Each structure stands twice: as structure tokens, then as C-alpha cells.
Structure 1
Amino acid sequence: MDAEESFARYVRERTAALSRIAYLLTGDAHLAEDLVQETLLGLVGRWSRIAAGGDPDPYVRRALYHQHVSFWRRGRRRPELVPEPADRPIPDSTATVADGLTLRRALARLAPGQRAVLVLRFYEDRTEQETADLLGCRVGTVKSQTRDALARLRRFAPELVELDFSRTEVGR
């Protein structure tokens, strides 16, 4: 199989999973699509070397996380999320949707690096070492980013402490 066919096959098989991760990073479906597309476009010219190294997934995910931080640094920011006014209840009738919205709003307030660490550690269930390897930093940085991100989440949305995240709609 040549590099073009290999890349096309990878894109068909892994776009949905990459899109879920990108959505968790960006908090916006359209920005997530852009992030996945930009990442894959950046890799297509080097695909033969990437695929020759074995499983390309870790490399692609790392590129996705780095591209997300680059988007943020270049000012490709999403519109600022404004909390609902106190006198208007959330129109959703299910606790699952409300919990997912609460989590998304809280994640949106984190810095991209903190968000990437939380997605890797708790959504992808990565170890501290794996997270550090994927982000190109030290384990101590992962630990401090995790600690700081969780502290910010507790401050921004203390109700998250009580949530059962297995029933939220985030990333599905």
C-alpha cells in the first residue's frame, strides 16, 4: 500500500476519534473540524515517514495537541462563552445534557495546555509519562498542569466534584 492509500485509510478510520478529542480541546464542533483538518493537512506530506515508524496514532495525536496550542497562540480563539443569566434556567430537561454543558463551560475556561493535559489524563486515560511524552514536556509539568487545572475547575464549577462523568454527553 502506498503512502497516499495509507493516509486515506487512516483518515477514514480515525477522523471520528480525532474529532472527539479535538472537540474536547476546543469546545466547539466547527473549530474541532478545523483543528483536525489543519493537523492532517500538516501531516500528509510526511505521511510515509510517519507511517513507517509503526502506529501513527501517537504521532498524530501529539500533532493535534500541538496544533491546538498553536491555534490558540495565533489568536484563532472561539467566541467568549458567556454564562446564562441567573433568571433564565437552562432549557435542557435532562441532567445528562446539563452536566455535559457544565463540564464544557468549565473546560472552556482552562488554558490550552491545561485542557490538553486533562483530556489526555482523564478522557484518554493516559499515564503521566505517556502524557508528558505526547506533549513533549516533563512529568513534573504534567503533574503541575493537572493540579492547577483541577484546582481551576473546582473554583469555576464546584458542582463538577459531584458529577458522574460516565453519563455526560461530552465527547460522544
Structure 2
Amino acid sequence: MNIIAETSRISIKMLEESDLELIHKWWNDGRVTKHMGFPNGMKVTKEKLHHRFKEQIEEKNKILNTRIYIIYSKEMKKPIGELQYGEADMDKKKCRLGIKIGELDAQGKGNGKEALICFIQYLFNKLKMQLIEIDSFPENERAYNLYMRIGFKEVEILKKFWTDETNKIHDLVMMELKKGDWKFSEVKIKY
């Protein structure tokens, strides 16, 4: 495993080609993606995933505009989700962050919180980010509350931002976390 950071419970590892099968499963499972506005899954093919992540799999030692990582549970002994940074601007030292716990039996057990804290510390300490952005639908209370507890602050609410395939309209809450405001040290991290 090509691990970038870990705690006593989870490891965050670089994406491998063999992980695309799990990404495919998670992205097409409406139970996993409904909180992102895809109640019937994202309907993505394995071919599109391979094309989308080809550079990330081949360019392991390069900071890219976007990169996805796999969350591995040491307790469950399996991959349980993904983390992603995107819209990386190395001049402004900022990026956007995303997280998804794809294994339903791993949700609601603190795995997402621990992985998110670990990854934020990695982004601030190793990639030298100064600002991390994240977003959430207001009705996704679990994610919204987690982001607020960790220290993200609301900066904008985009009204009627997304209409999903069931014609439900969603607002989007934009949030950010500045490195100078990061005070979370609950999780012991190894790089």
C-alpha cells in the first residue's frame, strides 16, 4: 500500500488501478451518492473511471489539480471510502476537498471524521495548503455538522444550485477552513 498518512484506525493511500472497481461500485450506489444529489447513483462506467484517473495512477509523485485517495480501515481490514482534493491552486495554496464513506457498514462509526482530520493535516502540513474549501447540501446534516465541528466556516449559500434527477432542488453551502484556524489535534497522525 502506498500510504500517505495514517492514524491508529485508518490509512489513507494513493489510488491504484485495482481500486477502480470499488470506486465504480460506490459511485453507482444511490445509497452512497444520494447525499451528493445522485439518488440513483452516478451511472459512471468503468471505462470513464479509468480514463478519468489514468494520470493519477501513473503520476504518483506529482501534485495534480485533482487527486483521489482511498480510506482503508485497519479495524475492518478493507477499503471503506475515498478522499479527494481538487481545484488545487498551488500559487494561492488552496484546494477543494471531498469525502465519501462508500461502505455502508463503515458509516456512522467515526471513520469519516478521523479520515477527514488526517487528510486535512496532510493537506496543510505536506502539501502546504493555506485554505481548504468544502461544500454540502444543507439537508446532509451529518456531513454539514461534521464539517462545522472540525472547524469549517460557512462563507456562502448558493440557492437552488442543483436539481437532481428526481427534480429535487438543492441549495449548496460553501465552507472553508484556513490553516491559521486549524486547531484540531485529536488524532495522532503518521506520515
- TM-score using structure 2 length: 0.32
* Higher share of residues assigned strand: 2
Q: Comparing both chains, which one has the higher relative contact order based on Cα–Cα distances under 8 Å and sequence gaps of 6 or more?
A: 1
* Higher share of residues assigned helix: 1
Higher CA-based Rg: 1
- TM-score using structure 1 length: 0.35
